[in-house]
A and B are shown apart, each in its own frame.
Chain A
Amino acid sequence: MSAHEDTHAHEDHGHHHKETFVTKYIFSQDHKMIARQYLITGTIMGVIGVFMSMMFRIQLAWPEKPNVLFEAFLGKWAPNGVMDADIYLALVTIHGTIMVFFVLTAGLSGTFSNLLIPLQIGARDMASGFLNMVSYWLFFLSSVIMVISLFVQAGPAAAGWTVYPPLSALPMAQGGSGMGMTLWLVSMAIFIASSLLGSLNYIVTVINLRTKGMSMTRLPLTIWAFFVTAIIGVISFPVLLSAALLLIMDRSFGTSFFLSDIFIQGEVLHYQGGSPVLFEHLFWFLGHPEVYIVLLPALGITSEVIATNSRKPIFGYRAMVASILAIAFLSTIVWGHHMFVSGMNPFLGSVFTFTTLLIAIPSAVKAFNYITTLWKGNLQMNPAMLFSIGLVSTFITGGLTGIILGDSALDINVHDTYFVVAHFHLVMGISALYGMFAGIYHWFPRMFGRMLNKNLGYIHFWVTAICAYGVFFPMHFIGMAGLPRRYYTNSNFPLFDDLANVNVIITLFALVGGVFQLVFLWNFFSSMFYGKKAEQNPWRSNTLEWTAPVEHIHGNWPGEIPHVYRWSYDYSKPGHDEDFVPQNIPLKEGEEELQH
């Protein structure tokens, strides 16, 4: 690979200025440091979120049994070590919120958009390093508030991650709807501000700061994915912010946007004329695009990892870009599929069924293109590659059941059952998590200058892969048997007694899977300090980030920024000795650039 070694003179380019500990590690404006900050904060939140899921899974498998874990972690919420029904709902709610927003939105996009956008398009940094820093610190603040909300007197928010009013609006409806919900809303409002600052920065950077030769059609698919994700975020997050603000008004200032005709605990409330259905529309106008905000970056990472490790160009680059755009567009007009039985006009339901099932088309194209990329490749089974293949597998399994849920007639009977839990965990949760892991294994050398241990990576992948299917596959079946989600226990329905053993199996897989994430954490933190030193381009990859020196420097490249002469997928191109040709290598004489 030395043939392609960057030969720029290693002189100072004037971007260096003295850095103190504070400006380097804390209030850093360098995108690589901010990426690491996002990653580590996201990881810590992930540990909390996964731990919560293990606790409520234990309750579901052995309902209302005392457990030392509950006693140790839940305190007054587990009298005699038995989990309380209120805290069950709180755990589910905060688990969902943390996983979707804090881990797979901020942790995933925040880390990899920040790390890769400047490095892969050939920019010295983000368009605004300052806004980038503010974005991270707002995210940090919102994480802290969310964690603090776990400790309030009446309990954390417990109305589900969708926080539908009136449940979320009335403290007398549920303990968690008091101070806990206030903090939840404040935390989310700050989170949204952070996300918007980040997204605007990503968009501007991609549009303005591409290096010479980096046309839009030469962009790696990672950048396309981050770019479009940022656009969806800018379009949809403000709507959630408005929903949150209106909910705060209803809760604290007596307005009636979402509330009407309520009689609770022996008294009539003053609210009149509002509608909870309005909130559902506002929430899902973000909520559905949100699943693509979570998923698209993971797919972008997968495109890069699969192409590099297959030593083949990604199949159908143009179709991949087109399907990202199609998914992004369609994702903003399908939100109503969460509301087929909300009381919304059935005709609207028909329209949403139509748009929803359309999304299956670009999704199918993506899946087929990944599979074709593997065909006749020379697959390097690095841990990142395994997670990417795993992503395609869970994306297919989870995506297919979307055909059932998106079909309004069928949704009548599986809406809000465990079928939904199975579906969205596979297609969004697990897929995006795999994408995040793939990204970490692939770019760890770029982030920390050291390699992760591959054998630990293999163990991590295979156990996680088995457990993910072990947990979520059977859930389809208890859902189809009619078991509603967000139930503290199923034992009040003898009807479901024959499903109790399924719940035990699911929980065992969940516990094993959860505990094995420790293998990853160990690998991650120990390799950061003791891992093998990374070479400059360990995966023999084409993209620009691998032309920058291993040691992080402010401004990314010591000399001039490399120019780009080709797309990023010239792997195994005939006429070249090596099986990769980095983007900064000029075309040979007579060599044609692929017409894409």
Chain B
Amino acid sequence: MTALLTILVLVFILVAIWQMVKIFDLAQAKVENSQIATDNDNRINGYLMISFLAFIYIITIVSFVKWGDLPLLSNSASEHGPQIDNLMIISLTIIFIVQTVTQFLLHYFAFKYKGEKGRKALFFADNNKLETIWTIIPVIVLAGLIIYGLSTWINIMGVDESDDPLVVELYAQQFNWKARYAGEDNTLGKANVRLIDFDRANILGLDEADPNAQDDVITTELHLPVGKPVLFKMRSQDVLHSAYMPHFRAQMNCVPGMITQFGFTPTVTTAEMRLTPEMTDKVVNINNIRVEKSKELIANGEPALDRYEFDYLLLCNKICGKSHYNMQMKIIVETQEEYNAWMKEQKVFKNSLIN
């Protein structure tokens, strides 16, 4: 309904504008019926150019102030997170400066040199010095960014087997996630979707004969001990999915027929994250929004929304079909003791099979 109203209003505005243009045209008709810009047009559009520059600056400032408190720029919860965040802040700063300056020059020149009858432009076709300068400057800046970026990338993607990471499989299917822990031996059992056997509750297609598979643990929540490196092995049973864990600055596609990997070390437990001032503010804000929305829902006789409490999430970030928008798994980062206690309650693979 709102949308329809908006559209109606728009149509009326359009009609009004059309009328205005007609009047404008008629008023000008006697002077000249030229469809080529006159000095007057040049002046008006010159001023509009400067106003547009102001608009770009304002929308930039408003966006940063209102929506700039991004989980991406602070609050990372993994060891490599701050490296990405630093690189992001440096890149954003460079972009911000270049954007501000070049947009200024562009719009200011458009305003300053707006055409006038009788004036002649400067015949200025080439200047090697200038062009060398603005080839060299980007080269230097980019060289810096490339070096910094690549060292960060190699650092993140390189898996160091020597610090004995906890091996966990992330298993994707339309439209949910499973996690498989490698168990006591920290080695995942062999698996293939061809071995899936629902009758025996072998839902991930583990090789029942593989000794490494016996102690594997399959769960629907991802628990991680804080401070311990984790190496994720990604698998998909049907289409492409992507395991996206924005708080940990982590993402890797899940590809059927292939095992992909990504490793990181979580540094902040869920409980600690909930207590950070940024997060408490954010949660309060979100709950206020939810309360408002609930009022509307209750008025329509629908159930109210639950209170929101912060949790880390694993989202699917590669289009995978109808319910792509709702393919998520909760991630809980906890102390080693809590993790051990939780793990103890889980059934190992060999005991979860139905005979």
A contact residues vs B (CB 8 Å cutoff): 58, 61-62, 67-69, 85-86, 89, 159-160, 164-167, 170, 173-174, 259-264, 266, 268, 272-277, 310-319, 341-343, 346, 349-350, 353-354, 357-358, 360-361, 364-365, 367-372, 374-382, 385-386, 389, 392-393, 396-397, 400-401, 403-404, 407-410, 412-417, 451-456, 458-459, 462, 465-466, 469-470, 473-474, 476-478, 480-482, 484, 486-490, 492-495, 497-500, 502, 508, 511-512, 515-516, 518-519, 522, 531-532, 538-539, 569, 571-574, 579, 594, 596
Contacts and interface: CB of A to CB of B under 8 A. Distances in A.
B321 A412 contact: no
B36 A382 contact: yes
B68 interface: yes
B343 interface: no
B201 interface: no
Given A386-B45, A494-B286, A453 B123 contact: no
B63 interface: yes
Contacts of B18: 519, 522
A414 B123 CA distance: 45
A378 B193 contact: no
B174 interface: yes
Given A266-B198, A343-B258, A482-B72, A393 B103 contact: yes
B251 A341 contact: yes
Given A173-B321, A313-B124, A407-B149, 20 more contacts: A67-B1, A67-B4, A160-B319, A165-B239, A259-B256, A260-B258, A261-B193, A342-B255, A376-B122, A378-B113, A380-B115, A392-B106, A407-B91, A410-B87, A466-B55, A498-B285, A498-B289, A515-B10, A579-B120, A579-B121
B243 to A, nearest CB: 9
B1 to A, nearest CB: 8
B113 A375 contact: yes
Contacts of B83: 409
Q: How large is the interface on B (under 10, 10 to 19, 20 to 34, 35 or more residues)?
A: 35 or more
Nearest to B21: A455
Given A380-B37, A403-B145, A594-B125, A354 B3 contact: no
Interface in B58-87: 59-60, 63-64, 67-68, 70-73, 83-84, 87
Nearest to B235: A261
Given A343-B260, A412-B250, A365 B122 contact: no
Contact of B174 (A62, A261, A264, A484): A264
A360 B48 CA distance: 29
B240 A276 contact: yes
Q: Which of A459, A477, A594 has the most CB of B within 10 A?
A: A477
Given A378-B121, A404-B88, A480-B72, A350 B153 contact: yes
A361 B139 contact: yes
A343 B34 CA distance: 60
Nearest to B42: A381
Interface stretch (B92-100, B179-187, B213-221): B92-100
B4 A68 contact: yes
A310 B322 contact: no
Contacts of B103: 393, 396-397
Contact of B63 (A262, A466, A477): A477
19 contacts: A166-B239, A170-B239, A173-B239, A263-B237, A311-B115, A312-B123, A317-B125, A350-B154, A353-B150, A377-B115, A381-B115, A396-B98, A409-B150, A412-B251, A455-B24, A456-B21, A486-B324, A511-B10, A515-B10
B134 A381 contact: no
Contact of B91 (A86, A311, A404, A532): A404
Interface of B: 1-4, 6-7, 10-11, 14, 17-18, 21, 24-25, 33-37, 41-42, 44-46, 48-49, 52, 55-56, 59-60, 63-64, 67-68, 70-73, 83-84, 87-88, 91-92, 94-95, 98-99, 102-103, 105-107, 109-110, 113-116, 119-127, 130-131, 134-135, 138-139, 142, 145-146, 149-150, 152-154, 156-158, 174, 192-194, 196, 198, 205, 234, 237-240, 242, 244, 246, 249-253, 255-258, 260, 282, 285-286, 289-290, 305-306, 308, 310, 313, 315-326, 328
Contacts, number: 415
Contacts of B49: 389
A466 B52 CA distance: 8
Contact of A85 (B72, B120, B323): B323
A362 to B, nearest CB: 9
Contact of B317 (A61, A415, A465): A415
Given A350-B150, A474-B63, A518-B14, A495 B313 contact: yes
A262 B70 contact: no
B115 A318 contact: no
B328 A493 contact: yes
A317 B131 CA distance: 11
A376 B91 contact: no
B67 A481 contact: yes
B315 to A, nearest CB: 6
Given A453-B25, A462-B48, A484 B244 contact: yes
Contact of A459 (B2, B17, B33): B17
Contact of B3 (A69, A459, A538): A69
Contact of A374 (B48, B106, B126, B319): B106
A262 B319 contact: no
A354 B88 contact: no
B60 A473 contact: yes
Contacts of A61: 3
A148 B336 CA distance: 58
Given A343-B260, A381-B115, A264 B237 contact: yes
Nearest to B104: A371
Nearest to B244: A484
Given A268-B196, A538-B36, A511 B6 contact: yes
A107 B284 CA distance: 49
B125 A315 contact: yes
